[in-house]
Amino acid sequence: MNYDSSILALFSNIGSSGSGSDSSLLETLYGSGSTGVQGASGQSPVAALLSAQKNEATVIKTVEQQADVKTAMAAFTKAVGSATNLTQALNDPAVLNVLLTANGMADQIGNTALATKVLMSNLSDPSSLANVLTDTRWQMLAQTYNFSTNGLAVLKNPSTIAAITQGYAQINWEKQQDAATPGISDALTFIQQAGSITSVDQVLGNSTVRTVVTTALGVPEQIAFQSINAQEQAVGTRLDVKDFKDPSFVQSFAERFLVMNNLNSNSSSGSASIDTLAAELQSPT
């Protein structure tokens, strides 16, 4: 039996019948009961996500006070305060590393030249680097601070520093969640960003959103080696991005991603129980 296909079939109407029934189905497959597949936290992936969302604001405030976060932010603030121009600030690892991490781009740490050029791009120029890179996260980052207009002053603004501190603490907290329930950070980021997605190209251009979408839809990783048209078709025929405007659909889709991500991780050991659950759900009551 093809377990990925059977689960996808069960979720074929996810998001269309309301979040209550979606959550019930997901909880049946990965609930907190004896049949649920639990992570290191002792919770099912869906339960872990719901718990993280419920406690997020309070816990992040606590993480902001952790020694490693306070040290990084103190170095950031000091470097920004002593910088005399934007280029100097962005070339300082104490600034750029925190800035990238706080905005979900820690994987780009080390690409100082690229980051500096992108962030100083003229966003009103369609051909500027920020507007043409396939990784759309760069454009989002450049738009957030608009350095080409605001210059260094925006980094010295207390409200900006507070937002970066919160973002940096959030990423650190999400890493901690991932250690117990792999995929939580991607799910949380997806929930935050999905509403701004308006095209399949944006899905493919954002590495986190791409991971969530392709995993949830069961699109093989090998699709990345196909042409852009083939990738667009693989996603576009399975998903209407307009649905991302619906928060309940986004929530259900994020939960679906976590279920599929956990299923993929446990496919060899959990295939029998998934088969049984799928059969039970498909049988008449």
**pLDDT (tens digit per residue) in 171-213:** 999 999 999 999 999 999 999 999 999 999 999 999 999 999 9
Distance separating alpha carbons of residues 268 and 249, to the nearest angstrom = 29
User: Which of the residue ranges 36-45, 93-102, 177-186 would you say has the lowest mean pLDDT?
Assistant: 36-45
Which class would CATH give 67-172?
mainly alpha
When pLDDT is averaged across residues 264-272 and rounded to a whole number, the result is 60
**pLDDT given for residue 12 in this prediction:** 45
Domain boundaries, the chain: 67-172, 182-267
243 pLDDT more than 50: yes
To the question of pTM greater than 0.85 for the whole model, the response is no
Query: Average pLDDT, whole number, for the chain?
Result: 84
102 near 164, Cβ under 8 Å?
yes
> Residue 14's pLDDT band (boundaries 50, 70, 90)?
very low
Distance separating alpha carbons of residues 203 and 214, to the nearest angstrom = 9
> Residue 32's pLDDT band (boundaries 50, 70, 90)?
very low
Distance separating alpha carbons of residues 93 and 84, to the nearest angstrom = 16
> Residue 37's pLDDT band (boundaries 50, 70, 90)?
low
> Residue 110's pLDDT band (boundaries 50, 70, 90)?
very high
256 pLDDT more than 50: yes
The 8-class DSSP code of residue 18 comes to -
28 pLDDT more than 70: no
169 near 188, Cβ under 8 Å?
no
